[in-house]
Chains A and B, each alone.
Chain A
Amino acid sequence: MKISRRAFLRAGGLAMMSYGMDPLFLARAVYAQPGGTPAAKPGRVLVCLFQRGAVDGLSMVVPHGDAHYYKERPNIAIPEASVIDLDGRFGFHPALAPLKPLWDARVLAPIHAIGSPDPTRSHFDAQDYMESGTPGVKATPDGWLNRYCQHQREHDETPFRAVSFGPELPRILSGSAPSLGIDNLRAFGLRAPNATTRDRLTRAFEAMYSVAPTGILASSAQEGFEAAKMLQKIAPDRYQPEHGASYPNGRFGQSLQQIAQLIKADVGLEIAFADVVGWDTHVNQGAEQGQLATRLGEFAQALAAFAQDLGDRMNNVVLVTCSEFGRTIAENGSTGTDHGRATAMMVMGGPVRGGRVLGPWPGLEPEARFEGRDLAVTTDFRDLFSEVLARHLHSGSLDAVFPGHEVAPKRYLGALRA
């Protein structure tokens, strides 16, 4: 499906300007690769973001056309007048305003009523399943992003192929394929009081490990030193975002900025992962303003800054967000929400067929709910991730990435151009 340039300009070009964004990449994204499957090419990047704590999909992407939403949430519903309407049925929380131009430019699509086939309401089980990619199976030793790397070996060998930003390597990237956990690009490598000491230690340890008695220690150390040296050339502490992009303060904004840095440094980054926390809003969730609004505001600003900073490079990037489950349709006794079932996720980037809310909507009427109380899951999260791996990274081994899950392109949502 082609979208006329005129339609694009009418839909989003002006709004984009008003946010100070360079609409060039978006225009190219719309026109790039009309039909047909492009050949696998290097430089494609998948960014996966995990909203830990179970984000309230119903107040993030508001079903403002559904009366049950307002009936069940007398204190914390987003008033119809404040919702940023998307398609007459759904609208963004007002704090997501920075994402509206991306929607208008059709490079961003929310997916609603998505989640896990396993009904657990335990954060840790549900996160574990979403990261292992095997709902209901706890013994899976590795994460699905790592399994993708294990089975897709033709990618250039680089220590930066799969990088997680955070203090620990998350479950989703753990496994036998090399992956790098980076707490902070500026602090990666050997810690030392000054550059002279660091260089001396690097030299010594590199020499020491060049003949380490086991292959894996030697190769891991070499990868680490190689990564540290490449980073020194990039000089991460002197990074300036481009195109006027301004990342929000805080860990999440920093993570996205560092992902953008690595993408621009052309170090071979293919998979990037970062966490964003604070979504477990059991108490005083707030409505247009408050706890959830603050978190969503930071989230949206960071995503918008990332797209703006990368400019044309977004043509090769797909960013996907996920969260372990959603929250109750009804507010609880503490003007918050409890653990529910389905939530909303987002997919963004040049290859995205955006400007549409994806996923069958089950409705909020009591008989449509899961166990009579929660938004039902109509899209298995693995179908979204499979589509992204197949259509963006041209993965040919989805059976191994999601064992026990039947790969069925007919269940793809059409989130990306085929």
Chain B
Amino acid sequence: MLRGMPPHVRAGFPRGPMDHALAQFTAVLVLAAIPLPAGAAASRAGSVPRPDPAAAATVALMTAEPHAALTARDSALHVLERFAYGPSAGQVDAVAREGALAWLDGQLDWYGASDPRLAAIEKCSPALALAPDDWARRFTETRQAVKQGVPPVMARDETRELLDDVRALVVTRAVKADEQLREVMSAFWFDHFNVFLDKGDDRFLLPNFIEDVIRPRALGRFVDLLVATARSPAMLYYLDNVQSVSPENPPPPRPDGTPARRTGINENYARELLELHTLGVDGGYTQKDVIAVARILTGWSMKPPAEGGSYVFRPGVHDFGEKFVLGTRFAPGHGEEEGVRLLRLLARNPATIRHVCHKLCARFVSDEPPDGCVDAAVTAWEASDGEIRSVLRAIARTPEFWAAIDAKMKTPLEFVVSAARAVDAQPDTSARLADAVAQLGEPIYRQPSPAGYPDRQRDWANSGTLLARMSFAVALAAGRQQGADVDLGALLPATGNRDSLVDAVNERILGGAMTEHTRSVIVSELGSEPDPARARALAVGLALGSPEFQRR
């Protein structure tokens, strides 16, 4: 509907502060276009149609394409901007032919089918060739070298190159992978279970955390992801659980006879587990629960780096006493298994389900997601025992999702990757594009706060970085951005006709989303650029730097 209109009509729609009005308007249109169950019909004339979860589920079942009010291309662009890092060149048409929800189902049901482009990238990565033991060994050697007086800068040179590769992979995979949803969800879960690359041992633990903990479980059951992160040395080190010991079982004195420094629980991981990973800050837990959780998780630790740094449970420092968490009794005498029991309990707590579903809707629908889509996500979670695939499938079938076109502002990572995809850029093996993301304010894997990077508009609409986004857009289109090869000649014919050039840029690069205002500005600027190739680069650069392209 919206995208299908002529640009001058679209430009007239209220947006931004008026997003709510837009959402209402479109939601009504969308609902009007699909068969509604009898119970929901009464709300049609009301302000915000908010079907109860059961009714929403019925809608999803009854209609294969709940977005019938949108054109096929508009629907394709919308799913690609949410469940992928934006369309690659020409992808809007391909997905429009396939059907937006059919494409999404293909992404949801990928289940490890081959992705040759991704495989080619991964084969060339020196970081991916290393096993966890290799990382630990290199890290230990570097540490030894520094102790023996080798200047840290030199000693860490090789490690730094590997870590550059780890950061570069985030961007390269996101740009090139056909299985886009795994990249999107891996980034989502990494922010949910954030780990900080520059904290001590996490320099060598983080790569394994990404590859073996997050990525394989990005679309699976939440409880599996939760248990895997709780057993990952990267998380246990980052949030200090490796230092958390039962006061009743202090660690033995050091060889020189001095007492071990740590002689009590450390609440850091326990608190973040409840606040960020599961229940949410208003999830109804108390300080007593935090302490009980910390006691249950005493002993969840890691081997020293020199011994590989893998996960280990240390019964010697575990608190075997009785505990109560959220009113549930944990009887005395239990070891590691009571931690697993706790994590399962937390994963199935209604507060957790609501908290994580709300966060998913904030990522895929809008910064302040309407109750309708959150309810639908919760229903799907409960029906599937927290299978993320099912939850995403349900979110994509809510009217709220289809009413939220352009409601999100791109994060720096989303902006850089979507721009690279739009012009079919070929990333090289350097970390230059990852550095560009960092310059826009989102250094990959370098968020010290366990809350991860935010993804709301108010966090990213910063004047300095907005100008930097424009500069990146122009440099990328002009072939001046380091780290990526761009051949606009393969995408757009060079033409002396300004109007047809801008129309082609709108169709091929912006998926038809250009407003009449942006169009007139670009056409007018092209008047002072007689050279067809330079005019083409200018038009693409201005389009990628436009307000339309900052949103998704």
Contacts of B441 in A (CB 8 A): 168-169, 181
Q: Which of B203-211, B351-359, B461-469 contacts A (4 or more CB under 8 A)?
A: B461-469
A139-B275, A216-B458 known; A180 vs B463 contact (CB < 8 Å): yes
Question: Are A138 and B463 interface neighbours, CB within 8 A?
Answer: no
Q: Which among A87-95, A222-230, A305-313 touches the partner chain?
A: A222-230
Asked whether A225 lies within 8 Å of B547 as measured between CB atoms, the reply is no
Whole-angstrom distance from the CB of A265 to the nearest CB of chain B? 17
Question: Which B residues lie within 8 Å of A209 (CB)?
Answer: 547
Q: Tell me whether A208 and B547 are in contact (CB under 8 A).
A: yes
* A residues in contact with B147, CB < 8 Å: 283, 334
Q: How far is the CA of A302 from the CA of B317 in the complex (A)?
A: 49
The B-contacting residues of A in range 98-143, CB under 8 angstroms, are: 122-125, 127-128, 138-139, 141
Stretch of B161-169, B501-509, B516-524 lying at the A interface: B516-524
- Of B146, B240, B462, which contacts A169 at CB under 8 A? B462
CB of B17 within 8 A of chain A? yes
- Residues in chain B near residue A201, CB distance under 8 A: 470, 474, 541-542
Known contacts A167-B439, A215-B16, A216-B458; A190/B517 CB under 8 A: no
**Contact (A216, B517) CB under 8 Å given A139-B451, A178-B463:** no
Give the interface size bracket for A toward B: 35 or more
Inter-chain contacts of B438 with A (CB < 8 A): 167-168
A413 at the interface (CB under 8 A from B): no
| Cβ B547 vs Cβ A215 within 8 A | no
**Complex CA distance for A174 and B449, rounded to whole angstroms:** 13
Residue with the highest number of chain A CB atoms closer than 10 Å, among B450, B470, B471, B518: B470
Expressed in whole angstroms, the Cα–Cα distance for A159 and B376 within the complex equals: 43
By a CB distance below 8 angstroms, the chain B residues around A192 are 471, 474
Which residues of B are found within 8 Å of A40, using beta-carbon distances?
none
Contact A213 B464 (CB under 8 A): no
Q: Could you tell me if B515 and A213 are in contact, using CB atoms closer than 8 angstroms?
A: yes
Question: Chain B 378-419, CB within 8 Å of chain A: the 1/0 string?
Answer: 000000000000000000000000000010010000000000
Alpha-carbon gap, A52 to B147, bound state (A): 21
Asked if B199 lies at the interface with its beta carbon under 8 angstroms from chain A, I say yes
Q: Is A32 an interface residue (CB 8 A)?
A: no
**Segment 169-183 of A: residues with Cβ below 8 Å from B:** 169, 171, 174, 176, 178-183
Interface string of B269-280 (1 = CB under 8 A from A): 001100110000
Contacts of B545 in A (CB 8 A): 205, 208
Are A216 and B448 in contact (CB-based, < 8 A)? no
Q: Among the listed B409, B450, B542, which residue makes an inter-chain contact with A208, where contact means beta carbons less than 8 Å apart?
A: B542
1/0 per residue A257-290: CB within 8 Å of B? 0000000000000000000000000011000000
Residues from chain A with Cβ under 8 Å of B531 in the complex: none
Q: Does A189 contact B (CB under 8 A)?
A: yes
* A391-B525 Cα distance, complex, nearest whole Å: 51
Residue of A211, A212, A334 contacting most chain B CB atoms (<10 Å): A212
Are A124 and B517 in contact, CB atoms less than 8 angstroms apart?
no
Contact of A221 among B439, B454, B463, B475 (CB under 8 A): B463
Asked if B199 and A124 sit within 8 Å, CB to CB, the answer is yes
Q: Which residues of A contact B474 (CB under 8 A)?
A: 190-192, 201
Among candidates A122, A214, A227, A283, residue contacting B463 with C-beta atoms closer than 8 Å: A227
**Which residues from chain B contact A179 at a C-beta distance below 8 Å?**
462
> Which of B272, B462, B475, B522 contacts A138 (CB under 8 A)?
B272
Q: Does A204 contact B (CB under 8 A)?
A: yes
Complex CA gap A174/B176 in Å reads 32
Give the complex CA separation of A267 and B272 in angstroms: 42
Most chain B CB inside 10 Å of its own CB: which residue of A181, A217, A371: A217
Q: Does A5 count as interface, using CB distance less than 8 angstroms?
A: no
Q: In the complex, A123 Cα to B240 Cα: how many Å? A: 13
Residue B198 CB within 8 A of the other chain: yes
Q: A181-196, CB under 8 A of B: which get 1 and which 0?
A: 1110000111111000
Name the A residues within 8 Å of B461 (CB-CB): 216-217, 220
Name the residue on B nearest A193 (C-beta): B480
Please, which residues of chain B bring their CB within 8 A of the CB of A214?
15-17, 19, 409, 457, 547, 551
Nearest B-chain residue to A222, judged by Cβ: B463
Which residue of A141, A200, A208 contacts B528 across the interface (Cβ within 8 Å)? A200
Contact A211 B463 (CB under 8 A): no
Give bound CA distance, A171 to B545, whole Å. Answer: 26
User: B449 and A208: CB pair below 8 A?
Assistant: no
* Interface pair A138/B547, CB less than 8 Å apart: no
Query: Closest chain A residue to B522 by CB distance?
Result: A204
**A400 contacts B by Cβ under 8 Å:** no
Q: A139-B275, A211-B517 are in contact. Are A128 and B449 (CB under 8 A)?
A: yes
Cβ B451 vs Cβ A138 within 8 A: yes
A24 interface residue per 8 A CB criterion: no
Closest Cβ of chain A: how far from B434's Cβ, in Å? 13
A196's nearest neighbour on chain B, judged by CB, is B528
CB distance B515 to A124 under 8 Å?
no
List chain A residues, Cβ under 8 A from B457: 214, 216
B467 touches A139 (CB 8 A): no
In the assembled complex, the Cα of A189 lies from the Cα of B17 at a distance in Å of 27
- Write the B284-308 contact mask toward A (1 if CB under 8 angstroms, else 0): 0000000000000000000000000
| Residue among A125, A200, A203, A208 with most chain B CB within 10 A | A208
* Given A167-B439, A190-B467, A284-B149: A217 and B409 interface contact (C-beta under 8 Å): yes
B residues less than 8 Å from A141 (CB atoms): 454
Q: How far does the alpha carbon of A188 sit from the alpha carbon of B147 in the complex, in Å? A: 41
Known: A124-B196, A215-B17. A190 touches B547 (CB 8 A): no
Give chain B nearest CB distance to A193 CB in angstroms. 8
B130 in the interface (beta carbon within 8 A): no
The verdict on A207 contacting chain B, using a C-beta distance below 8 Å, is yes
Residue of A159, A169, A176, A191 with most chain B CB atoms under a 10 A cut-off: A191
Extra A-B contacts (4), CB below 8 Å, given A124-B198, A214-B15: A204-B522, A208-B521, A214-B16, A222-B463
Using a CB–CB cutoff of 8 Å, the interface residues on chain B facing chain A are 15-17, 19, 146-147, 149, 196, 198-199, 240, 261, 271-272, 275-276, 281, 406, 409, 438-439, 441, 443, 448-451, 454, 457-459, 461-467, 470-471, 474-475, 480, 515, 517-518, 521-522, 525, 528, 541-542, 545-548, 550-551
The contact sample of 16 A-B pairs, CB cut-off 8 A, is A128-B449, A138-B451, A168-B439, A168-B443, A169-B462, A180-B464, A190-B471, A190-B474, A191-B471, A201-B470, A205-B470, A208-B518, A208-B546, A213-B551, A214-B551, A217-B466
